Amino acid sequence: MASGYGATTFQGKNADGTFHDDRFHTAKMIALMAPPPPEFLERSRMCSALWEEDGTWKHSSPVPIPDITLEKLAAEKIMGEDVDGFLLFFKRMLRWLPEQRPDYYELLFDPWLMKGLEEH
């Protein structure tokens, strides 16, 4: 998902920026979305490589959860007045469980997008 200026929201580069690392990618997701619910962790064998059985992040020492929030990213990257509306829209899409995400039709008629159309 683009966040502006050619960057992506969930870059998964390692600490020195040389290659993609799932641990860094997932740590950023945790920072922006909060830890995943237990149902998410139960769905994939890959989760056991990243989380303990109790849901604790395994890699806090080599890969700490970054100190970032969507609000901080929006303040740096989003131009315009309606940052709050954008954040509500974006948070609707950022869900660990796919069944909790709105479908394209629901997003198409999101109040934030509709407000933008009404202004033109």
> Which pLDDT score is estimated for 2?
39
Q: Could you write out the DSSP letters of every residue in 101-113? A: S--HHHHHT-HHH
* Res. 102: pLDDT tops 50: yes
* pLDDT, greater one: 63 or 17: 63
Highest-scoring range by mean pLDDT, 5-9, 53-57, 93-97: 93-97
> Which pLDDT score is estimated for 6?
40
What domains sit in the chain, N to C, each tagged with a CATH number? 2-118 (1.10.510.10)
Q: In a 3-state reduction of DSSP, which class is residue 75?
A: helix
* Res. 55: pLDDT tops 90: no
Region 80-94: mean pLDDT is 88
Residue 36: partners with Cβ closer than 8 Å, 6 or more residues away: 30, 51, 55, 96
* Res. 7: pLDDT tops 70: no
What percentage of the chain exceeds 70 in pLDDT?
82
Phi and psi at residue 103, in whole multiples of 5°? -80, 175
* pLDDT, greater one: 35 or 118: 35
Token pair recorded at residue 106: 């629901």
- Reported as a single tens digit per residue, the pLDDT across 60-79 is 778 888 898 999 988 888 87
Average of per-residue pLDDT values in the chain: 82
